[in-house]
């Protein structure tokens, strides 16, 4: 019998957009165990980066985003010099909390403390929540047979 898909917290990404190279900022954050999944220049002339902290090994189903966001905020608060300047000039600084959607439990919630929300606001960050749908298993469909036209 198939297991009912569960709702659960996946991870929190830190998404950044700037008009200059984000690699020095990503390198400074990596020293605090916040690692870049991507740092790319786009055709619009802007740089985009997506980062996550190194909590993956500790993360379990049932965990919440608070710990990961606090870890990333600690890293941001430690920035100095060029890295701090790049952070300050980012067009977007966004914590994106990701959840896998499912059918159970009936109700599901996570929260952030007011202290964490204040820290996010202090560093100029916004909050986004992304909910990923559960994809049903792909069923193989046999090709339809071509029907011959009836003879007249």
Q: Give 66-130 as a 3 state SS string.
A: HHHHHHHHHHHHCCCHHHHHHHHCCCEEEEEEEEECCCECCCCCCCCCHHHHHHHHHCCCEEEEE
- Kindly state the tokens that stand for 54: 């190194």
Phi-psi group of 124: left, alpha or beta (phi > 0 → left; psi -120 to 50 → alpha; rest → beta): left
E strand or H helix at 58: none
pLDDT on residue 34: 96
Read off the pLDDT of each residue in 18-25 and give the average, rounded to a whole number: 98
Answer whether 23's CB lies under 8 Å from 52's CB.
Answer: no
Res 6 pLDDT > 90: no
pLDDT on residue 5: 83
Maximum Cα–Cα distance for the chain, whole Å?
A: 85
Q: Which residues pair with 92 in a beta bridge?
A: 17
81-108 confidence digits (pLDDT tens)? 999 999 999 999 999 999 988 877 888 8
Q: Quick check: helix, strand or coil at residue 145?
A: coil
107-148 confidence digits (pLDDT tens)? 888 899 999 999 999 999 999 999 988 766 666 666 665 556
Read off the pLDDT of each residue in 74-84 and give the average, rounded to a whole number: 98
39-57 confidence digits (pLDDT tens)? 999 999 999 999 998 765 5
pLDDT on residue 44: 96
Exposed (0-12), middle (13-18) or buried (19+): which is 83, by Cβ within 10 Å? buried
pLDDT on residue 54: 76
Read off the pLDDT of each residue in 22-36 and give the average, rounded to a whole number: 97
Q: How confident is the model at residue 23 (pLDDT cuts 50, 70, 90)?
A: very high
pTM: 0.82
């Amino acid at each position: 019998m198939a297991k009912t898909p569960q709702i659960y917290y996946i991870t929190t990404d830190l998404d950044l957009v700037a008009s200059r190279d984000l690699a020095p900022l990503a390198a400074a954050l990596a020293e605090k165990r916040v690692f870049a999944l991507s740092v790319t220049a786009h055709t619009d002339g802007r740089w985009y980066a997506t980062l996550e902290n190194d909590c993956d090994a500790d993360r379990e189903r049932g965990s919440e985003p608070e710990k990961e966001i606090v870890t990333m905020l600690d890293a941001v608060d430690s920035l100095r010099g060029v890295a701090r300047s790049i952070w300050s000039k980012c067009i977007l600084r966004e914590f994106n909390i990701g959840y896998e959607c499912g059918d159970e439990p009936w109700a599901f919630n996570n929260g952030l403390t007011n202290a964490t929300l204040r820290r996010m606001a202090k560093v100029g960050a916004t909050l986004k929540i992304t909910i990923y749908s559960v994809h049903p298993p792909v069923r193989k469909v046999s090709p339809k047979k071509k029907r011959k036209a009836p003879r007249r």
